[in-house]
Every structure is written in C-alpha cells, then in structure tokens.
Structure 1
Amino acid sequence: MSLKKIHTRTIVLIALMLIVSLGRLVSYNFPYTLSNFTPIGAIALFGGAYFTDKWKAYLTVFCTLFLSDILINYLYTSKLILWYSGAVWVYLPFLLMVFIGTFIKKVSVGNVAFAALIAVLFHWLFTDLPFFYGAQYPHTLGGYALSLVAAIPFERNMLLGDLVFGAILFGGFELAKSKYTVLRTKNELAV
C-alpha cells in the first residue's frame, strides 16, 4: 500500500472521529433525557476496527475524548479544565473499547451491535465499582448493586449512542470505501 493511501485513510478516519465527537453536545443540550448519549463508545469501537496501526486508534480516541472533555467541561463550568481527578478512570473503559473494536473483523450490523453491547456492559460494570462513586452508596456488594441499578438509564443511553453514532461511522466509512479505493486496505483491494 502506498504512503498516500495510508495517509489519506488515516486522515479520513481521524476526521470522521473528530467530527462525530461533536455529538457529545447532544447530551449537553438535553442533560436529563439524553444523559450519556454520546459518540465516544462508537468512536472507540470504530478506531479499533479500522486503524491498521492500533496505536493510532488508542491515541486518536484518547485525544478525541480529551479535546471534547475540555469543551464540555468549559460549557458546564465556564473554566478551562485540562484534566480532572477521575479522568483516568473515565478514559480507561473507552481505551478498552478500542480493544473490543479490534475484534470486529467483518463489519456488519450484528457485529457492530454486539461489540457495542459488550463495550457498554464493561463500561457499566467498571465505572460503577464502589471506589468510583465515593460515599453516594455503601462500599459493599449491595451498594454496588444499587449503583448498577441507578446507572441503567445512563448505560441505556450510552448503548443507544453507540448504536446511532456507530451506524453513522461504520456505515459512512463502508459507503466511502465502496466509492473510493484509496480508503481500502491492501487486503481489501486484493479481494
């Protein structure tokens, strides 16, 4: 594969991810009904599935989350916040979602939906661990269960966001690949 094809494909992947990340503003504008309806999970799965150099997927997802966090935090606080105390624990599940995306070998509605479901389940179980929610719930198995139940609406919205934005990303890129061979990998051109 020529350097130009790699370069063009990478630029298109990053541009799509950055553009779709603006979808985080949807949950900002509708904080109660669409809280956690964001594209970040879909972006992570998309990056894991399409970047041939996986480090680019991890870096792009991290940067996308970081930059959109700066914007969202500014909208909420009117302050420029570059990093916050729980950021590592927020970012870690999304980086794992990139890993989950690497298992999408054939893009189909079923494969992307299954990956989105697994990613959201992991996010739900991880981010509601007792040491993340402070004193809001008891640090017991019962408290963890209460936290999981309370998080169901947020995780439902996350799954919906992953499915909607995943359809845009995966569907859009597959359509673009069918029209522009420069976006295909060497293996896809050989078939």
Structure 2
Amino acid sequence: MKEKANIRLFILIGITLFAGLWRLLISAGHTPMSNFTPIGAMALFGGSYFISRVRAYLFPLLTLFISDVVLMQTIYAGHSKGLLYDGWYWTYAAFALVVLIGSVLIKKVSIKNVILGALLAGLTHFLIANLGVWLRGLTDVTTGLPYTRDFAGLIKCYTLAIPYFKNMLAGNLIYSAILFGGYELARLRFPVLSRPSAA
C-alpha cells in the first residue's frame, strides 16, 4: 500500500513539475498570451489530488516560484526585482487560493467541477493580482501615469487587464482538461494512481 502511495505521489509531483517546465517552454515575452499557461490548472490539480495539504500547497507554489525565477532572470529580466518581480506576493496569494479552490471544489473530479474550478481560479487570480497592481500605484499603460487612487482608477486597472484574464481563463480550461482528463484516463488504466487512504 505504501509503495502504491509513493508511486502516485511521484507521478503527481512529476505532473506538477512538467506544468512548470511547459510554462517555461511556451513563454515568449510579456503579452496577454503570457497568461495562457498551465500554472492555474496545475494549482487546481495539486489542490485536488494531493492528499497532504502541505504537499498540495508546497509543490504547485514551489513550481511557480522556480519557473518565475527562471523567467525573471531570462525573458523578463528587465522587470525583475531581485529573484522575482515587484508585488509577487499578490500573485502567490492568488495561487494559494487557487490550490484551496482545487482542494474544496474538486474533491470529486467531474467535468462540471473542473470547469467551475478553472473559471473560479481565473476570476480569483484576476481580482487579487490586479487589486495588487492598483494598490501598489503601478502605471496605467494608456497614460504613462499611475492609476488614480479612486474607484475609477481601480475599474480602469481591471478593464485593461481583461485580455490577460481571458487568456488565463482559456489556459485554465484547456490545461485543466488535459491534466485532469489525462490523469483520470491514466487512473482507469493504472489503478495504482487511485487515491489511497493517505499520500
């Protein structure tokens, strides 16, 4: 039983790391398409499949961190503040909530739960990450000035982020279908991947 749990854990960690590697391979600059990655789906997947809550948060957030460091030291080097980027903690808070969504909403894997989780994950990231952009007084790309510190400035910040939001939603939906669907198909073929009593 323990050996089966270890095989399952190894596969789950491998899938998580592969999602981070895939993010690195498809990243090509700071555009709305930068958000079309498997990272959101990976966080949902980790929350849903890792039995240990520590592992459910640790492996997806660690994979996000490693891929962020690589990207910030290469493709996005002009935007880096040390290892990461300014305001990274807003993004990581959003992804921690996405793991929570996966652990609560997708306890039972179904098409409906995965779609709902992917949509909710995208909305959570959109709301939290862009609230952080506005609170930090970052620059409105249309004017070159910081967002105004009022409701209109907040709405404009969210409005300008809609293309990124749409691509994150698309990425969440497509990559969730691949990760959850692929794992469930593999589980049918290889029962060792089924959820044990502890892993």
Tell me, yes or no, whether TM beats 0.5: yes
Percent of counterpart pairs with the same letter? 41
> Residue by residue, what CA displacement relative to the aligned partner does 1:115-165 show, whole Å, maximum 9, x if unpaired?
111111111111111214425311111111001111110010001111111
Rate the CA distance shift 1:80–1:88 in 2: closer, same or farther, 3 A: closer
SS in 1 for 2:106: coil
The 3 A distance-change label for structure 1 pair 7 and 132 is farther
Distance 1:112 1:141, change over 3 A: same
Which is further off, 29-38 or 112-121?
A: 29-38
1: distance between equivalents of 2:191 and 2:3?
Answer: 12
Structure 2 match to 1:36: 35
CA contact (8 A) 2:101 2:117 kept: yes
Provide the residue aligned with 1:186 in structure 2.
196
Tell me how many residue pairs correspond in the alignment: 186
Per the alignment, do residues 128 and 80 of structure 1 end up closer, same or farther by CA in structure 2, a change over 3 Å counting? closer
> d(CA) in 2 for partners of 1:59 and 1:91?
12
For residue 183 of structure 1, report the CA deviation from its aligned partner. 0.9
For 2:61, the equivalent position in structure 1 comes to 62
Normalising to structure 1: TM-score of the pair? 0.89
User: Closer, same or farther in 2 for the Cα pair 1:175/1:132, shift >3 Å?
Assistant: farther
Q: Which runs of 5+ in 1 are unaligned?
A: none
Structure 2 SS opposite 1:35? helix
The one-letter amino acid paired with 2:181 is G
Q: 1:58 to 1:35 in 2, by over 3 A?
A: same
Aligned partner of 1:105 among 91, 98, 107: 107
Report Cα offsets for 1:83-134 as digits up to 9, x if no partner. 4442212111001100000121221222111111111111111111121442
| 1:71 aligns to 2:81 (yes or no) | no
- Structural RMSD (CA): 2.1
- In structure 1, the partner of 2:180 is 170
Superposed displacement of residue 81, structure 1 = 4.8
CA distance in 2, matches of 1:108, 1:169: 13
**In terms of mean alpha carbon deviation, does 86-95 or 154-163 score higher?**
86-95
Determine the structure 2 residue equivalent to 1:145: 155
Tell me which stretches of 4 or more aligned residues in structure 1 moved more than 6 Å.
none
Say if 1:43 and 1:166, in contact at 8 Å, map to a contact too: yes
TM-score normalised by L of structure 2: 0.85
Query: In the superposition, relative to structure 1, how do residues 73 and 30 fare at CA in structure 2: closer, same or farther (>3 Å)?
Result: closer
Q: Structure 2: state its 5+ residue gaps.
A: 140-145
Structure 1 residues 32 and 87: CA distance shift in structure 2, 3 A: closer
2:118 corresponds to which letter in structure 1?
A: A
